Amino acid sequence: MEEIIDLLESKNITYDRSLLEKSFKLAEREAKGKVTVNNIDVIKHVIEVTKIIVNLDVDTDLIYAAILHETLKENKKENYEYIKKEISEDVAEIVEDVKQELGVDEDEHEEKKNNDLDNQ
């Protein structure tokens, strides 16, 4: 989280520390012990994605959503409601939209990738 805070401050981006902390807590809880299909720790992936988003000079809702973009894979309903209540409805909707756009989960992504290879 400190890496993101340093980046936000270096770019003079105003953010709500409480929302940032809540976002990271949920992201860390959901990422614990998980790796991406490329065998990268999910929380490292989240941090790298968030750094890219911060460097695009977007609003803070998109930054919080970047932190949270991996949180709707499991415990979807509870996490969506938490984000909606504790962060904002806009952020919850962005995270849900990203999830729908990218697919249901990594297992489906991996299965699709394998099927694509089989069909070549």
Give residue 114's pLDDT band: very low, low, confident or very high (50, 70, 90).
Answer: very low
pLDDT tens for 38-81 read: 999 999 999 999 999 999 989 999 999 999 999 998 889 999 99
Residue 63, both tokens: 């930054």
**Domain-by-domain residue ranges, the chain?**
2-118
The model's pTM is: 0.83
Half-sphere exposure of 2 (CA within 13 A, CB side): 0
Q: Is the pLDDT of residue 112 over 70?
A: no
Q: What is the per-residue pLDDT for 119? A: 54
Residue 70, both tokens: 């991996």
